[in-house]
Amino acid sequence: MRRSMLFLPGNTPNMILSGDCLGADAIILDLEDAVAPDQKDAARVLVRNAIKYLQFPGVEKIIRINSLDTPYWKKDLDEMIPLKPELIMTPKTSCAADVLEFDAYMSELEDKLGYERNTVKLMPLIETALGVENAYAIASASKRVAAIFLGAEDLSADLRCKRTKEGKEILYARGRMVLAARAANVDVYDTPFTDVNDDEGIRVDAEFAKGLGFTGKASISPRHVAVINEVFSPTQKDIDYAYEVMEAIRIGKEQGKGAVSLHGKMIDAPIVARAQQTIDMAVALGLGKEA
C-alpha cells in the first residue's frame, strides 16, 4: 500500500526523525538534490544510521541516491543496500541501460551480503525527455523495477517549457508514464505539487493524476500527504459498489448465467477486475474484508 511518498532531505535530522509520524505511506530519504555536494558524506551516514536505529515502523523507506553521472551513486548503494530499504530511487533514469547498470551493482552487493537478489527494489525516476520516450523500456528492464516515478521539474527544464500549476506541459508525459507502467505491470507515481500552501491545488492535481491511472503521488511537504492519501484511497461508495459487483457475480455463477447485470448495467471482466482492485485496497487500508 503506497499512495503517498514524502521527500525528506537526507542531511536534516529534525525532518528525518519524524519520518514515521507524518502520515505518508513511504518516505523518500533524499541523498540527491536536497544535499549539497560537500555534504554527501554526512547525509549518507545520517540516513544509514536513521534507518539502522529508528527503522520507521509501518512506513516504507525509499532512498533517492545520486545519478549515474556523479561519483556518488556507488557509495550511496554501498551504504544503503546492507540495510535493505524497500526501494532505491534512481534519478535521471533515461534508458534501460541505466536501470541495468544500477541493477548489476545492486546484485553484486546483494551477493556479497548473502541477500537474495532483488531484495531491494528499484523505482526509476524519469525526468528527462529521453526517459519519458523510453518509459516502457525502463519499466520492463529488470524484475527489480517495482514502480516508475515522473519528475516534472527537471522534465520541464529538459522540454524547455515553463512548469505550471495546471500541468498542461506534462500531460503527454503523464499519460505515457501510466501506459508504460501498466504495460510493464509496475506501479506509477506522479510528480509532487510544489505549491506547499495551495491546499485546493494539491487536491485538484492529485485527483487529475488518479484519473489518469497513477498509483499515487509524491510530495515535498507533509501538508499534502493527507490529501494525497484521501484522493488515492477508495471512497466508501466505491467499496460498497465493489462488494455489490462481486456478490452479483457470485449469484450469477450460482444461477449459471453467462451475463450478469447490476443496477441495469452489464458487469464484464474489466468491471470485476476494478472491483477486485478496490476491495484489495480497502482490505489493505482496513476498510473492508476479503470478498
* Smallest gap from residue 34 Cβ to another protein (A): 14
Which among 94, 90, 97 has a CA at the least distance from the CA of 141?
97
* Smallest gap from residue 47 Cβ to another protein (A): 8
Which among 99, 97, 117, 270 has a CA at the least distance from the CA of 182?
270
Q: What is the helix (H) or strand (E) element at residue 64, kind and residue range?
A: strand 60-64
Task: Give CA–CA dist 97/131, Å, rounded.
Answer: 11
Q: Are residues 127 and 159 in contact, defined by beta-carbon separation less than 8 angstroms?
A: no
Q: How far apart are the first and last CA of the chain?
A: 18
Residue closer to another protein by CB (options 14, 255) is 14
**Contact residues for another protein, defined by CB under 8 A:** 12-14, 17, 37-42, 45-46, 48-50, 52-54, 71-72, 75
Residue closer to another protein by CB (options 13, 175) is 13
Cα 71 from chain centroid (whole Å): 26
* Smallest gap from residue 260 Cβ to another protein (A): 56
Measured over the CA atoms of residue 128, residue 206, residue 24 and residue 194, the dihedral's sign is: positive
**Which residue has cell 509496475?**
186
* Smallest gap from residue 162 Cβ to another protein (A): 33
* Smallest gap from residue 50 Cβ to another protein (A): 6
Residue closer to another protein by CB (options 10, 216) is 10
Residue closer to another protein by CB (options 92, 210) is 92
Residue closer to another protein by CB (options 11, 215) is 11
Which among 93, 89, 69, 94 has a CA at the least distance from the CA of 77?
89
